[in-house]
A and B are shown apart, each in its own frame.
Chain A
Amino acid sequence: MSDDIDVKLEQEVAEFYQSLGIHQGPGDIQYRLILKVLSRNEGKVTEFSEIREYTDKFADKGSIGSKMKTVFQLEGLAEKVKRGGYIITDKGLTASNFLKDTTAFYKKNKRMGEIIERMP
């Protein structure tokens, strides 16, 4: 399962958005990874430990828990269905689709940047 989410790419994309001054949402690696794991488990319960498999490299347990509460639960992107168990909502899936668009935009922009770099 872990090969579904390319952590390195997500980090690159987040750094790209941070470089544009966007530090929240698409520019936040924690947000990206949490949403990726939640959307991958669409229709199923996502264990907190599963999220931490990806986020431990970037943040401690506390800040991920806090993000789950203050962003995902508060904005209705995910709902807590049991202790340490979350399920993505329709709104969360919309956010996930938006995240996919941000990755596509990053790739397109990178490819074009490289083309321009090669133009004499």
Chain B
Amino acid sequence: MSAGLLLNATICFAITISSFAFAWVLARGGPEHNDKSKPALWSLIILWLLVGLTYLPTTVRMIAAYLDYPQIDIIMYYVAAVPFSFVAVPLVFFILYVIIGDQRISGYISFLFVLFGTAYLVLLYSSGVIGPTITPLTSLFTINSDIAINIYLIGLFVIPTAMIIGLLFLIFLQRMPKRLRYRTALPLVAISFVFDFMLTDMITLDDAMQLAARIFVLIGTVQAFLAYFPPMTLQEKLGIQKYEYNLYKKDDDQDFDEDDEEEATINV
């Protein structure tokens, strides 16, 4: 029993809650989005739900490790592997749909990642895992299949990450208003953060690195919140606040006359 495991459980729980909350907030704002952005919005909601669903059993795992229940720990590891292996699917759909705008093609290609995820799961379940190794900070498992790790690295992470980087480059190479750039680039950076540190979290064999990765996943979730709901101080600092204004009703012609009128009054 170590306080480090409780800290780990708390971080996992914070990731779970913030991911679910973010998905809920995005879903609640659904009607405000236009028809073109709705497929991307729903894929984003599913992505955050899957992140939350990955870290919910992981929270239980950490508590089980703290209370010394290795059986629950191993069951929860297998449960967490399910949402985790399909995290790449909504992400790939999101990026492809945003870039090419074709729901059907994006759907087909993301289906390929369903196959990758399934292959990973089959190999993971059939080969099993070695562990748990309980350390003062975390509980670690070693995947007992090199092919599963390769599928996981190449199929589930390298390709989607390359897609995010590609989309980011596309945005950074364009001249666009600061507000738009912030609004489009920061969610991608946040997703990339969460996604890449989830990878580190799942394959690392170093307890400190796993804890650090989880902290960064949490930071990524907060970043995603800030991308969609930037606080006023941040907006002012970055110069991205939207100026609230009402249209000036008077005719422009009259504006020019006003000075003359004043002069005329003075002269009289």
Interface residues of A (CB under 8 A from B): 108, 112, 114-120
Contact = CB atoms under 8 A, between A and B. Distances in A.
Interface stretch (B78-86, B97-105, B211-219, B252-260): B97-105
Interface of chain B: mostly helix, strand, loop or mixed:
helix
28 contacts: A108-B174, A112-B170, A112-B174, A112-B176, A114-B101, A115-B98, A115-B99, A115-B170, A115-B171, A115-B184, A116-B176, A116-B184, A117-B34, A118-B36, A118-B37, A118-B40, A118-B98, A118-B101, A119-B40, A119-B98, A119-B183, A119-B184, A119-B187, A120-B26, A120-B33, A120-B37, A120-B38, A120-B41
B268 interface: no
Contacts of A115: 98-99, 101, 170-171, 184
Contacts, number: 36
Interface residues of B, number: 21
Contacts of B171: 115
Contacts of A119: 37, 40, 98, 183-184, 187
B96 to A, nearest CB: 11
Given A108-B174, A112-B176, A115-B170, A120 B44 contact: yes
B180 interface: yes
Nearest to B174: A112
A71 B38 CA distance: 48
Nearest to A113: B176
A119 B184 CA distance: 7
Contacts of B34: 117
A115 B101 CA distance: 8
Contacts of A117: 34, 36-37
